[in-house]
Amino acid sequence: MTEKETILITGGAGFIGSHVVRRFVKSEKYIIVNLDKLTYAGNLENLRDIEDNPNYKFVKGDICDFAFIKELFSKYDFKGVIHLAAESHVDRSISNPMEFIQTNVVGTVGLLNAAKDSWANIGDRRFYHVSTDEVYGSLGETGFFTETTPYDPQSPYSASKASSDHFVRAYGNTYGLPFVISNCSNNYGPNHFPEKLIPLMIHNIKNGKPLPVYGKGENVRDWLYVEDHARAIELIFEKGKNGDTYNIGGFNEWKNIDLVHLLCDVMDDKLGNSQGTSRKLITYVKDRAGHDLRYAIDATKLQQELGWEPSLQFKEGLEKTIDWYLANEKWLQDVTSGDYLKYYDEHYANR
């Protein structure tokens, strides 16, 4: 039997990271070390079902703590890193850009340094950087982002992610660090913090609260179910070409207002309301500063080279997502009240 490789996943307690960690742990092919600071967006309840799995280890820590990261790399012989830890919310980046530079840029460079310095036989390792389509800027009414679209980030969040992408490529070019990058469109699904559009709307509809639509609601996003993203990450990590970039998207564009209408109608059905009840909660509010008009990913390369396709129809994915939020009221309460850290204290502090 071949020995299982040990992989470091950063940000594994967050939204996308939790689905990636679960997928890799359940594959039985790897030992997964999940490094997460447990900011407001990281919740170990997301990984309750695998916390006792022998292929899984959680480490609480900050990617910006370089001494700690160095120690971690000497403790484990990581064959690869899948880097998801980040500050991820555009609105927060507008009110507090420095935190985004610190985690997304400085933290990423710290990890790159640790990998470069620790990996004796650098050739058979891989640093996988998980990034966003927002690095490409904003599209007009037509066209798609491809892997060769020039970078043109427009918000402090996307500028910090673009900068981290550049550092990853620079480490590949300068030090020969084997890397791969993916840039994905908007994800949705379980474990999504209710500050982002879809979970916020579900939460507010359920509680009869106003549904804040920025500007005229005409901005367009391309939505992908989070488990389809996790499946793409596994495929790219295992089969992607070193030094390459892969775009990941849902081929699924929605104007925000149309999406909010759909959510209202599906929720009315599920809550037993008469149709039209939830739409009355829609409130147009001041637009996000510098709000990107449209994102749309051309994921042809991933489709053709690695055979990936989104597996879920949007309506089906939304139903699954809504059902999950309706069944997980305690999760919502914990993350919105800050009580999620109790879970760490009760389940992990003495491990």
93-124 CB burial, b ≥16 within 10 A, e <16: bbeebeebbebbbbbbbbbbbbbbebbeeeee
DSSP 3-state helix, strand, coil percentages of the chain (rounded to 5)? 45, 20, 35
Identify whether 319 is a catalytic site residue.
no
Only one of the segments 117-125, 195-203, 226-234, 313-321 lies at the binding site for ligand DAU (rule: CB under 6 A); that segment is 195-203
**Closest separation between CB of residue 45 and ligand DAU, Å?**
20
With CB under 6 A as the contact rule, the residue among 43, 93, 108, 132 that binds ligand DAU is 132
- Annotated catalytic residue within 36, 62, 87, 134: 134
Measure the N-to-C terminal CA separation of the chain; round to a whole number of Å.
29
Tokens 């066209």 found at? 143
What separation in angstroms does the CA of 261 have from each of 88, 125, 256?
Answer: 25, 46, 9
Give the x/- contact pattern for ligand NAD in 184-203, rule: CB under 6 A.
x-xx-----x----------
- Annotated catalytic residue within 133, 165, 222, 228: 133
Only one of the segments 57-65, 70-78, 211-219, 340-348 lies at the binding site for ligand NAD (rule: CB under 6 A); that segment is 57-65
- Annotated catalytic residue within 30, 56, 136, 157: 157
Only one of the segments 14-22, 197-205, 326-334, 340-348 lies at the binding site for ligand NAD (rule: CB under 6 A); that segment is 14-22
State the number of CA atoms in the 13 A half-sphere of 116 facing the CB: 18
Strand ranges inside 47-101, DSSP E: 56-60, 78-83
Residues pairing with 91 in the sheet: none
With CB under 6 A as the contact rule, the residue among 24, 25, 39, 135 that binds ligand NAD is 39
Instruction: State both tokens at 46.
Output: 């997301």
- Cα 307 to Cα 103: distance, rounded to the nearest angstrom: 33
Is residue 196 part of the contact set for ligand DAU (CB under 6 A)?
A: yes
Identify whether 157 is a catalytic site residue.
yes
Is residue 154 part of the contact set for ligand NAD (CB under 6 A)?
A: no
Is residue 134 part of the contact set for ligand DAU (CB under 6 A)?
A: yes
Closest CB to ligand DAU among 113 and 278? 278
With CB under 6 A as the contact rule, the residue among 7, 8, 16, 180 that binds ligand NAD is 16
Please write down the HEC assignment for all residues of 211-241.
Answer: EEEECCCCCEEEEEEHHHHHHHHHHHHHHCC
Closest CB to ligand DAU among 133 and 165? 133
Closest CB to ligand DAU among 134 and 147? 134
Closest CB to ligand DAU among 295 and 331? 295
Do β-strands 220-225 and 253-255 pair in parallel, antiparallel, or remain unpaired? antiparallel
What separation in angstroms does the CA of 271 have from each of 22, 177, 199, 278, 318?
Answer: 30, 52, 16, 10, 15
What separation in angstroms does the CA of 203 have from each of 43, 208, 284?
Answer: 18, 9, 17
- Cα 30 to Cα 24: distance, rounded to the nearest angstrom: 7
Only one of the segments 2-10, 26-34, 208-216, 271-279 lies at the binding site for ligand DAU (rule: CB under 6 A); that segment is 208-216
With CB under 6 A as the contact rule, the residue among 9, 32, 88, 145 that binds ligand NAD is 88
**Closest separation between CB of residue 67 and ligand DAU, Å?**
29
Identify whether 3 is a catalytic site residue.
no
Is residue 108 part of the contact set for ligand DAU (CB under 6 A)?
A: no
Only one of the segments 39-47, 49-57, 230-238, 255-263 lies at the binding site for ligand NAD (rule: CB under 6 A); that segment is 39-47
Residues 6+ apart with CB under 8 A from 307: 235
Instruction: State both tokens at 125.
Output: 């390792």
| Chain positions contacting ligand NAD, by CB under 6 A | 10-11, 13-17, 36-39, 41-42, 62-64, 84-86, 88, 103, 107, 130, 132, 161, 184, 186-187, 193
Known catalytic residues?
A: 133-134, 157
